[in-house]
Amino acid sequence: MEEPKNLLIKVKYPNSEKKPAKKVNSARIVTVWNIKRLLIAFAVSAALIVIVIFLIMRPSSQEMEVKPTVVATETHKTEAKATPLVKSNAVTKKTITRAILTLAIKNNEPVAELNPPLILPINKTVPVYYFIEVTDMKDRVIFHEWWLGNKLINRKKISISNNDKWRSVSHQLVAFAAKNNWTVKVVDETGQLLNEKRFDIIEQQ
């Protein structure tokens, strides 16, 4: 009788050691700027700010109605200021009764009126007189001004003490030169032009 063979049974137990867990990559946060959307948002914000400022600064309807009234008032004032100047021009024609350029004065009267242009030798200098006669200008001040081109050469102050005919004379030495566009003016204390005379000097041939 055969001896019974020993049976060998292998039992495989699961390995108690745990396999290391796979490393999980940590999540990374990446910020991506959307330039187009940012620009749109900025434009919308700027537009809203402008609208708010406009609404704050915008005058009320009541103020807008008042402004035309103010402008009309200012226009009326301007016209009122201009009116005396027109009247003054009318008075000037009556007060300046004579205005004459002459080369000589005798007994407080002009000898003869100068008819421009004045003809002079190149090396000769002569006085030119500006004679004026005024009326109804008591307590007024006038000035004789001698201009050579745009340059004021001489200015004489004259104070008038009565309303009768008041005569005054000023003179200026003149000679032939490259520029001879002379202008003689009478102006009042406010600078208003009352009268003017012009003359040139030409060389005697």
Using CA atoms, how far apart are residues 130 and 146, in angstroms rounded to an integer?
A: 9
Query: How many Å separate Cα 39 from the centre of its chain?
Result: 41
Query: Which CATH architecture describes the domain 93-203?
Result: Sandwich (2.60)
What pLDDT was estimated at residue 179? Answer: 76
What are the start and end residues of each CATH 2.60.40.10 domain in the chain? 93-203
Using CA atoms, how far apart are residues 190 and 133, in angstroms rounded to an integer?
A: 19
Give the mean model confidence (pLDDT) for residues 60-89: 35
The number of C-alpha atoms within 13 Å of 100 and in the hemisphere containing its C-beta is 17
User: What share of the chain has pLDDT > 70, as a percent?
Assistant: 65
Give the mean model confidence (pLDDT) for residues 175-203: 91
What pLDDT was estimated at residue 167? Answer: 92
- Residues 100-143 have pLDDT tens digits of 999 999 999 999 999 999 999 888 899 999 999 999 888 999 99
What are the distances in angstroms from CA 49 to CA 35, 52, 53, 185, 193?
21, 5, 6, 61, 57
Predicted structure pTM score: 0.54
**Which of the four pLDDT bands, split at 50, 70 and 90, describes residue 1?**
low
